[in-house]
Amino acid sequence: MEQALEYIRRQKDAIIEWWLNEVDKEYPKFYNLDKLRGHGKLYFDLVTAVHIPVQEHPLFQHLPEWCQILFLKKVPIVHVMHSSHLFRQSVFKALSDAPLDEGKLMKVLALLSERIDTYERQVSQYYTDHVHSQLEEQEQRLDELHDDKLNLIGKMAASMAHEIRNPLTSIRGFIKLIRGRLPEESLALVENYIHIIETEFDLIQMQITGFLTFSKKTCRGSLCLDKPPGTDSFRAGAH
């Protein structure tokens, strides 16, 4: 096995150059090839340093920071996985021409593939964790924005309710004044109309009370008080 590994190490430059060419074909002008060459050398060391458990390799220890950089640069996970697949192919291609025993070659290929698989699984996990973290942050921002909107709506409702209630108070007062000053004969003629006005007045008062209840019980900032019925359905619609 050591003979096969030594053969691969001697093919390091050829393997990396073949890999770079394939990556550039798949994603033309997307990557800086000089920087990618440096990454390829590090990856080659990770894959071929079989005397070090892959999880203990220095490069593996820095995977979280490296994945964070790729994520911030918006490098798709499919690029990372496909590039790793192309690297695997470049190693296999180099070994296919090796003048070595086939049994030993298969053992080495299995060992290197296992290390590549471990790397790919970990990168996928880090990417998944980053995505979940981003989604949670966005959801929190949406919740905060939603609470701000509810708070604003509550203030508007309270303001509107007070503006409507003031003239209604005057109307109620004048209705009482009419009842008290009209002669009974005249009052009898308009009693039905006055009753309709009072009924509609009471309905408006109920609506105003609902506005005020909503304004007092909706979320203010990060503190949520009791919400009136229907607020949750409104919240779902606001999203």
Q: How many CB atoms lie within 10 A of CB 58?
A: 11
Regions of the chain with pLDDT less than 70: 214-239
Would the pTM of this model clear 0.75, i.e. be above it?
A: no
Is the domain of 129 the same as that of 148? no
Is the domain of 227 the same as that of 149? yes
Q: What is the pLDDT of residue 13?
A: 92
Is the domain of 133 the same as that of 149? no
Q: What is the pLDDT of residue 77?
A: 84
What is residue 223's three-state secondary structure? strand
Is the domain of 40 the same as that of 126? yes
Q: What is the pLDDT of residue 148?
A: 80
Residue where a domain stops, chosen among 87, 109, 137: 137
Query: What is the span of the domain harbouring residue 57?
Result: 2-137
Is the domain of 124 the same as that of 53? yes
The amino acid occupying position 143 is D
The pair of three-digit structure tokens given for residue 92, joined into one six-digit string: 């296999």
Is the domain of 22 the same as that of 103? yes
